[in-house]
Amino acid sequence: MSGLQKLLILILFSTFVFAGDVTYTKRNNNYLREGPASYFALIEIVPAATKLEVIEKNQNWLKVKCNNKTGWIAGNCISDREPDKSMAEKLIKTWSSTKASKTGIAAAIKGFDKKSDKDLAGDVDLLLELTANTFTDKQFSEFKKELAGKSKNKNRNHLDDLDLEIPDYDPSIKELQVGTGVASRLLSAGVINDREINNYVNMICDAVVESSQMYDWDFSVLIADDEKINGYACPGGYIFITKGAILKCADEAELAAIIAHEMAHVVRRHGLQEMTQRKVQIKADDAFAELQEDVQADTDSISAELENLMVNSYEKIMHERLLGYETEADLISSVFIANAGYDPYGIVRATKILYQLSSEQKDIFDDDYLAPNDSQIRYEKINKFVNDEYVKDNPETRSLQRFIKFRDLLK
C-alpha cells in the first residue's frame, strides 16, 4: 500500500465517522477500553458483528456505546456495513464466550477439560495482576516526549511495505487462551516484580505499538528473572524479556528492538503457525506416550532413544522455518522502532550481540532450536536491510541516559 493510499484511507476515516453513527465490529476479537490507547484498561473483548453507537472520535479511536457499556475502540476494528449474519455467527462460535475480558479468559482456561490441566498449569491470577498497567496517561505522555521529533527515519517504511506472506495457521486455535496458559506457566521460572522497571518496559512497548498499524493490540511485557539472554512471545500478546537480555543492551533503542522483535512474533502469529505445523508431531508424541505406558521398565532406555531420535529428526526438518520466523521478526522490529522514533540500527546492534556471543559461547543456544551460525545469518540480513532503508540517526534516538537509569534498577 502506498503512502498516498494510506493517507486517503485516513482521510476517509476522519471524514465519514461522526457522533451518532452506527457501526459494527469486524474482527473476531475487538478490544473495548476505558480510554483511546492500547494501555488503557480493558472493559471487554467484543466479538465480530457487534453493533456500536458512536459517541465521539479521537484520532484513530472511537468512543462508543456497546451492550450498554461505554468505552473506546480502535478505528481499524470497525466497519460501516453490517456483516453477514451467518459469517458473524461462525466467527462467534470460534470464541469461548460472546463477551470476555482477560479475567473471563482466565476463567475459561481454568474451566477447560481436566485432560488439559497438565498443559495449562500456572498462576493465571498472578499473570493478570502483573500485566495490569499501573502508569498514567500523563506519565506515558512524558515518556514519549523524549522521542518526539528527533528521528530522521520515522515513516520511511510500514509493515505493508515488507510484502510478507499471509500467515498460515489453524484459525480454530484459541489464541488468547493458549497465550494466557503458556504465559502463566512461564511465570513459574520467576519474574521481576518491580513497578518502576515494569512500567518502563511496558511504556517502551506501548510507544512502539502506538506508532504501528497494530496500535490497538494488547501487549504486556514481563521481565524474566534469568541471567541468560532470551525473549519469549506468547500468542495473544504476552512478552517475556530476560533480565540478562536487558543488562546486555547498550541503550533503550536496543531494548525497544528486542521488545519489538517479540511483538512481531505475535503480530505474525508465528506461535500459532508452528502449533499448526506441529499437529502431526503432537499427535505422534501423544501416541508414543501411550505406548510407553504399556512397555516394561527394562525397555525404558530404548524408548527414550527412539523418542529422542523422533524429536531430533523433526527439529532438523523445521529448522529453516524457525530461522525464517526470526529473520522476519528482525525486519518488522526495525520498522516498528523506527516509526516509534527509535534508532532503527538498534535491532542491528542487538543481533550483532547474539552473533558475537555465539562465536564465544556456543552453549547459550539451544541446539534443538537455532544453531550458532544462524545468528550470523540474522545479523547479515538485518544489517543489509537497515543500511538499505534507513540513514544513520540522531544519537538522542537511543535514549541512553534514561535507559541507564532503569537498567541500574536491575543490577
Q: What is the pLDDT of residues 335-384, one digit of tens each?
A: 999 999 999 999 999 999 988 887 665 544 444 445 668 889 999 999 99
Q: Phi and psi dihedrals of 383, rounded to 5?
A: -65, -45
Enter the pTM of the model: 0.77
Picking from 276, 127, 255, the residue whose alpha carbon sits closest to that of residue 187 is 127
Measured between alpha carbons, how far is 106 from 122 in angstroms, rounded to an integer?
11
Domains in the chain: how many in total?
A: 2
Question: Residue 315: is its pLDDT beyond 70?
Answer: no
Looking at the structure, tell me whether residues 56 and 175 fall in a common domain: no
Assign 76 a pLDDT band (cuts: 50, 70, 90).
confident
Looking at the structure, tell me whether residues 246 and 338 fall in a common domain: yes
Whether residue 367 is contained in a domain is answered as yes
C-alpha cell at 174: 484459541
Q: Which of 138-152, 234-248, 279-293, 341-355 has the lowest mean pLDDT?
A: 279-293
Looking at the structure, tell me whether residues 229 and 340 fall in a common domain: yes
Whether residue 162 is contained in a domain is answered as yes
Whether residue 283 is contained in a domain is answered as no
Beta strand 22-25 pairing with 78-79: antiparallel
Looking at the structure, tell me whether residues 67 and 109 fall in a common domain: no
Looking at the structure, tell me whether residues 93 and 160 fall in a common domain: no
Task: Tell me which of 100, 118, 145 is where a domain ends.
Answer: 100
**Burial status of residue 304 (CB atoms within 10 A of its CB: 0-12, 13-18, 19 or more):** exposed
Task: Tell me which of 84, 100, 116 is where a domain ends.
Answer: 100
Task: Tell me which of 100, 115, 142 is where a domain ends.
Answer: 100
Looking at the structure, tell me whether residues 162 and 35 fall in a common domain: no
C-alpha cell at 224: 524474566
The two most distant CA atoms of the chain are separated, in Å, by 75
Looking at the structure, tell me whether residues 91 and 204 fall in a common domain: no
Strands (E), 185-342: 220-224, 231-234, 238-242
Whether residue 231 is contained in a domain is answered as yes
Looking at the structure, tell me whether residues 348 and 234 fall in a common domain: yes
Measured between alpha carbons, how far is 246 from 256 in angstroms, rounded to an integer?
10
The highest-confidence range among 81-95, 160-174, 282-296, by mean pLDDT, is: 160-174
Whether residue 110 is contained in a domain is answered as yes
Give the DSSP H/E element, type plus range, for residue 45. Answer: strand 42-47
For residue 22, give its domain range: 1-100
pLDDT value of position 347: 98
Looking at the structure, tell me whether residues 85 and 225 fall in a common domain: no
CATH code, domain with 63: 2.30.30.40
